[in-house]
Structure 1
């Protein structure tokens, strides 16, 4: 399959699996991926539409799967089934170092298989680091694969006027899970998913997957989706409100060129001598 059919943005919230942590482990060290038990998997699924040579994304579903309703094995099996059925481009933030590693390594424990993950494109598929068609680790891509300093999700989001981590913190997930407050974990996880998705939209425009028109259409579709579901999910509406009322000088929509649908903004007509010292 040459092209993904959907876009799947995910984020994991985890806690240490104390049953397999080494007894002599430094308590201050961060556990290895296989030592993280999944608490919540947040996701946004969007259909990839073709707009000439560009893409456009329409949100299909936003949500979170939590161990409050199902076991970790069910969460993992559901993820691999989604990869098999939806043929998505996976979008993560630090996913190659953490999220995808946790998903694969924890699946070893539960005896699961990941068919399409490994067979979609054996050479340039989900596990190929330098091709973003099937798995785009946005943090890795923005750092030019380690050539420049890596950005945290919160600092990248806030730089663009997004809410960032306004409604939670990963450091307290284990405590919240112990208290049974899975709803708070889900809200926080979905917030990270939304931040990642909007950052991806801007990156996709920068990298010319999206034109200015299709970027703006994708943003508007997201805002319409959040507004339509505000009553059932108030934190989705709060995300949109905080984003649109931000005092950061970063536009929600990009400038569209007159008389065309290409990715260039109207400022592209400026000559280099007009902007260079």
Structure 2
């Protein structure tokens, strides 16, 4: 079994980067973020910041191997962005996993690329294109239509942006919990309030939803039998039931309530 690593990132405005680029010296972090949003609206009509001006404050993963299933957030709550990224790529180097995301090709990975460049982190395995390992020539992490990275949103939409769907709705449609605790739009407010734990917990529920959708996808494309699918779902339920974390217990309760509705 090829290890599966589902991941998701949570970000806040890179106010220090914006000060370097736009000269916002003297403004508070809150006012700098507002100025960044105003500039973005003027340029694009949307407040959503350019990828290189997002700073990563959480990376959560589900790691599934033959013998292990776990969900957690990388690093401690006070870990720097550089440490989070270093740990992420250490996982890629160690496991050479199939990476699974929801809109990872459109958001998470481009942000990770810019931030990894900023921090001077080496990620040779991730960037392998077949020069040193021939197996990566026709199946690598960077090419859109390869399978080492599965962007479920992109794949399920048939690579047609107009067919994209939000994770929350797809997960709910399949009987999974969907969004819990907060939304991406609330991460900045939670960060300003010092609620890093809440951000990490929210990110963990997102990767759980993504993994559950991925299991259904694997059944759809014939890589899991119905029995194997149920066994994997039961493995997730067991992991959640054994966890002392309240947000994971709440996720299991919401899942069971949807299943029994």
Asked if 1:125 corresponds to 2:140, the answer is yes
Q: CA deviation at 1:19?
A: 2.3
Structure 1 residue matching 2:15: 3-state secondary structure: coil
CA distance in 1, matches of 2:173, 2:100: 20
2:27 aligned residue = none
Q: How does 1:120-159 map to 2 (within 5 A)?
A: 121-132=136-147, 134-146=148-160, 149-159=163-173
Structure 1 distance, partners of 2:140, 2:180, is 34
Deviations 1:66-117 (A, max 9, x none): 6732110011111111100011100000000111111111100001121111
Structure 2 counterpart of 1:70: 79
Identify the match of residue 215 of structure 1 among 229, 233, 239. 229
The count of corresponding residues between Structure 1 and Structure 2 is 234
Q: Residue in 1 aligned with 2:2?
A: 5
Indicate the residue corresponding to 2:116 in structure 1: 107
CA drift of 1:122 comes to 3.5
**Contact 2:215/2:229 (8 A) holds in 1:** yes
Q: CA deviation at 1:247?
A: 6.2
Corresponding residue for residue 234 of structure 1: 246
| Secondary structure of 1:198 counterpart | helix
Work out which of the residue numbers 86, 92, 103 in structure 2 matches 1:94: 103
Deviation digits for residues 177-211 of structure 1, max 9, x if unmatched?
11111111111111101100000000110011111
Q: Secondary structure at the match of 2:258?
A: coil
Partners of 2:252 and 2:71 in 1: CA distance = 14
Farther-moved stretch of structure 1 (233-242 vs 218-227)? 233-242
1:200 aligns with 2:214: yes
1:161/1:248 CA distance change after superposition, 3 Å: farther
> Which deviates more, 120-129 or 155-164?
120-129
Q: Is 1:165–2:165 an aligned residue pair?
A: no
User: What TM-score, normalized by structure 2, do the two folds share?
Assistant: 0.84
Segments of 5+ residues of structure 1 without an aligned counterpart are 50-57, 250-277
Structure holding more helix per residue: 2
Whether contact under 8 Å (2:172, 2:178) holds in the other structure is yes
Q: TM-score, normalised by structure 1?
A: 0.79
